[in-house]
Structures are given as structure tokens and as C-alpha cells.
Structure 1
Amino acid sequence: MPQALKTFVRAIDAFNRGLGRITMYLIFVMMGILLWSSFSKTFLLPSLWTLEMAQFTMTAYYLIGGPYALQAGAHVRMDLFYGNWSDRQKAFADALTVACLFFYLGVLLYGGIESTIYALKYAERSYSAWRPYMSPIKIIMCIGIFLMLLQSLAVFLKDIAKLRGEEL
């Protein structure tokens, strides 16, 4: 593998590892929001923002943390045959599935960018009583999808290197 590709893979892995480690703590932010929601509904006036903000936090948690999960191999895999395969067979199967993932993420990113442009252009707001602007979460979604696309490319390059008998 050329040195530029090795550097690319290492950089993407390092960036997504660092960001994923930080993103893990969003679960505690969401728990705090939901705890406040329960407290305010029981003892004070119910807050309008808590449920939707918890949903936004969970969206960011999944989409920004997704590349780290892919890197760590934490996604679910059908292990009926896969577990008995050699490392080269696994790399071949992974390269094929990641190639399909490129198409899916590309379409998802295209739609996300179109939706984000619409949200920014028309100041789109949620239909809830709180009515937050939708553009911040849509921007976060596009960033998460783009990072997942980059991490998928890094995984694909690792699989190709493994098929060639190299390690990245």
C-alpha cells in the first residue's frame, strides 16, 4: 500500500477514535435531560424541550459514534458462516459489504445535505410545541454520515491490504 493511503487510514482511525471517545459521554447528557424531564414533570411544570432535546442528543450519539463503532468492529454481523472463515475470506466478505455500504452512505449523505440546505434556507423548525430549529441537528447528521463514509473507506482499504497480504 502507498504511504499516502496508510497515512490516510491512520488519520481517519485516530480522528474517529478520539471523537468516538468524547461522544460516548453524550449518553450521560441524555440521561441528565431525561432525569430533568422526570423531575420537572413530578415537582414543577413540565418542560417542553426535554423529550426533543433527548432525541437530538441520541441522534448525535448514534451518528457521531457510528464511525468509532465501525472501527472497533462493534456492529452486528451474521456469524453463521463468517466465524469459520479464514482471515482472507473475512476480508473479502467485508470488502464486498463495505462497498455496498458506500452506496448507502452516499445516498444518505446526498439526502442529508439536501435536507440541511432546505432547513438553512427556510429556517425550518420542528412541529412540536418547543419548535427548535432543525438545521443544527441536520448538520450534525451530515457530519456523522460523512465521518462514517470516511471510516468505511479506511476499513475498505484495510480489507484490501489484508487481501494483498499486508497489514495497515
Structure 2
Amino acid sequence: MLHWTGRGIDAMSEFLGWLGWILILYCMCFGITDVFLRYVLNVPSMWIGTSIQAAMVLIACVGGAYALNHGSFVKLDLFYANASARTQAILDILTVPFTLLFLGVLIWKGIDAALLSIKLNQVTPTGVPIPIYPIKSMIPLAAIAVLLVVLKQLAIDIRTLVTGQPAREAFDDDTH
């Protein structure tokens, strides 16, 4: 069961990483377009800057699960890198309560903010009103995606602690 659940979480993480890549491409292309329109043609855009800001918020949202799933967050390698697999698992497990607390508040307050934004039909206060509620709705959804990755990693760490196998091996050997 852990194997298939983990694969589903990995697929979700990869999709979010792909979505982040598309958003980065969007920001690059429209950022260049905005500069060209503003400084070469002297015709500033009324919506590109605001849409790029929204895209950057979404990049931060979708990038979290992808980065965590690929072990790309910063760790204090002075203590962590040379530790055994079991010690690394213990250190990871010790940080889970703080992570769960942070994600719990982010999901809870994110849902409140998203629902209020939907209720108010919130848009940007610019010349071209862009809806804000889809972006605010992505924040708790992205936090849920990160939560799934954290729970997957917790299961791997617990298994590593019990079996002594390194994290990836413990996960990949699950055939149930």
C-alpha cells in the first residue's frame, strides 16, 4: 500500500513541478514582453505585471511539494550529511511535529482566506481586475500537497528507523 500511495504522491509532486516550470516560462516570456512594451514601444501593459505577481505566488505554492519530494530543502548538513540512515530518520521524525503545526495553520487559515476571497469575489485593484480567489485557493491546496509529501516521508523514515535500510531502499522494496 505504501508503494502505490507513494507513487501517487510522487506523480502529484512531479505534476506540480511541471506546472512550476510552465509558470516560470510564463513569467520569463511575459516579463520580457512587458519590458519591451514599456521601454521600447512606450505602451505599458495594464495586466502583465499583476499576472506575473500571481504566477510567482503560484510558483511558490507548487514548488514546495516538488522541492520537498526531491530533498531540495536546505538542511544543516554539518550534523545531517554524515549521519547514518537511522539517525537521519530520527532527525527527520523530530521535525515532523513542527512541520505539521506549520502546515495545519497554513491549511486552516488558507482555507479561511480563500473562502472569504471567493465570497467577496476578490479581484486586484488595478486597471484590469484579475481574480485573486483562484490564487488564494491554491495556497491551502498546495499546503495539502506538501502535507502528503511529509506524511510519505514520515512513513519512509519510520520504516528506515525500524529496518535500518536507507530511505529510498526501504520505500522501493515495498511490494504490497
TM-score, scaled to structure 2: 0.86
Counterpart Cα distance in 1 of 2:130 and 2:12 = 30
Q: Is residue 2:89 matched to residue 1:77?
A: no
Q: Is residue 2:149 matched to residue 1:146?
A: no
Q: Select which of 1, 12, 15 maps to 1:15.
A: 12
**Which stretches of structure 1, 4 residues or more, deviate above 4 A after TM superposition?**
none
Q: Select which of 34, 48, 51 maps to 2:49.
A: 51
Deviations 1:2-47 (A, max 9, x none): xx33322221112212332342232111111111110110114211
Are 1:26 and 1:58, in contact at CA under 8 Å, matched by a contact in 2?
yes
Q: Is residue 2:92 matched to residue 1:87?
A: no
Counterpart Cα distance in 1 of 2:111 and 2:65 = 19
% same residue: 31
1:134 maps to which residue?
132
TM-score, scaled to structure 1: 0.90
2:174 maps to which residue?
none
Aligned length: 165
Gaps of at least 5 residues in structure 2 are 172-176
Q: Select which of 17, 33, 39 maps to 1:36.
A: 33
Q: Is residue 2:153 matched to residue 1:155?
A: yes
Are 1:24 and 1:65, in contact at CA under 8 Å, matched by a contact in 2?
no
Amino acid at match of 1:156: L
Gaps of at least 5 residues in structure 1 are none
* Deviation (angstroms), 1:49: 1.3
CA RMSD of aligned residues (A): 1.6
Counterpart Cα distance in 2 of 1:99 and 1:32 = 40
Counterpart Cα distance in 2 of 1:152 and 1:14 = 15
- Choose 30-39 or 75-84, whichever is displaced more: 75-84
Counterpart Cα distance in 2 of 1:163 and 1:21 = 32
